[in-house]
Amino acid sequence: MKDFRNVIFVLVVLTFILQMYVMNQDAKAEELATSKPTVAVSTFALYDITKHITNETVNIVNILPFGVDAHSFEPTPKLMVSLAKSKLVLYSGAGLEPWTKGFHFTSRAVDISQYVKLRELDAEEFEHHAHHDQQCVHNKIDPHYWLDIENMKLAANIVTAELVKVLPKNEKVYTQNRDRYINLLNELDQEYKNSLKECRVDTIITNHNAFTYLSQRYGFKVEALSGLSPDVQASAKDITRLMHHIKESGVSTIFFESFVSDRVMKSIAHDTKVDVQVLQPLGNITKKEEEEQLSYVDIMRDNLHKLHKALMCK
Phi, psi values for residue 267, rounded to 5° = -65, -45
237 and 210 within one domain: yes
Total domain count, the chain = 2
The domain boundary residue, chosen from 192, 209, 235: 192
Return the pLDDT at 83: 87
CATH number at residue 292: 3.40.50.1980
Q: How far from 115 is each of 39, 215, 286, CA to CA, in Å?
A: 19, 21, 27
Whether 29 is in a domain gets the answer no
Q: Do 225 and 92 share a structural domain?
A: no
Query: Rounded CA gap, 235 and 226, in Å?
Result: 9
* pLDDT score of 125: 64
Which residues on adjacent β-strands are paired with residue 60? 39
Q: Are residues 157 and 268 in the same domain?
A: no
pLDDT band at 80 (very low <50, low <70, confident <90, very high): confident
- How high is the pLDDT of residue 122? 77
Cα dihedral 152, 158, 159, 160 in deg (nearest 10): 110
In a domain, 5, yes or no: no
Q: Which domain does 275 fall in, by range?
A: 196-310
Q: What band does 28 get if pLDDT is binned at 50, 70 and 90?
A: very low
Instruction: Examine the domain organization and report whether 175 and 212 are in the same domain.
Output: no
Q: What integer is the mean pLDDT of 80-106?
A: 89
Task: Pick the range with the lowest mean pLDDT from 39-48, 108-117, 227-236.
Answer: 227-236
Same domain? For 202 and 178 the reply is no
What's the whole-number average pLDDT of the chain?
86
Last residue of a domain, one of 174, 192, 210: 192
For residue 285, is pLDDT > 70?
yes
pLDDT computed for residue 230 by the predictor = 63
Final residue of a domain: which of 132, 162, 192?
192
Instruction: Say what the pLDDT of residue 169 is.
Output: 96
Q: Is the pLDDT of residue 276 over 70?
A: yes
Helix (H, G, I), strand (E, B) or coil at 62: strand
pLDDT at 12 over 60: no
pLDDT for position 227: 67
Pair 40, 158 in one domain: yes
User: Residue 79 — pLDDT band, cuts 50, 70, 90?
Assistant: confident
Predicted confidence band of residue 233 (pLDDT cuts 50, 70, 90): confident
Helices (H), the chain: 2-35, 44-54, 77-85, 123-132, 149-166, 171-195, 212-218, 236-249, 263-272, 287-291, 296-310
pLDDT at 72: 72
Q: Among 69-73, 186-190, 306-310, which stretch is predicted with the lowest mean pLDDT? A: 69-73
Query: Considering the domain boundaries, does residue 13 fall inside one?
Result: no
Q: What is this structure's pTM?
A: 0.84
Residues 178, 48: one domain? Answer: yes
Residue 303 lies in a domain: yes
pLDDT higher for 84 or 226?
Answer: 84
Predicted confidence at residue 17, as pLDDT, reads 57
The answer on pLDDT for 76 being more than 50 is yes
Residue 12 is assigned to a structural domain of this protein: no
* Pair (216, 291) in one structural domain: yes
Residue 23 lies in a domain: no
Residues 294 and 184 in one domain: no
pLDDT band per the 50, 70, 90 thresholds, residue 30: very low
| pLDDT above 60 for 66 | yes
**Domain-located, residue 164:** yes
Within this chain, do residues 201 and 158 fall inside the same structural domain, yes or no? no
| 89 shares its domain with 201 | no
157, amino acid identity? N
Q: How confident is the model at residue 136 (pLDDT cuts 50, 70, 90)?
A: very low
Do 164 and 212 share a domain, yes or no? no
**Strand positions, DSSP E, the chain:** 38-41, 59-62, 88-91, 108-111, 119-120, 141-142, 203-206, 221-224, 253-256, 275-278
155-164 per-position pLDDT tens digit: 999 999 999 9
Q: Has residue 43 been placed in a domain? A: yes
> For the ranges 18-32, 57-71, 262-276, which has the lowest average pLDDT?
18-32
Rounded Cα gap, residues 70 and 42, in angstroms: 9
Determine the pLDDT at residue 14.
Answer: 59
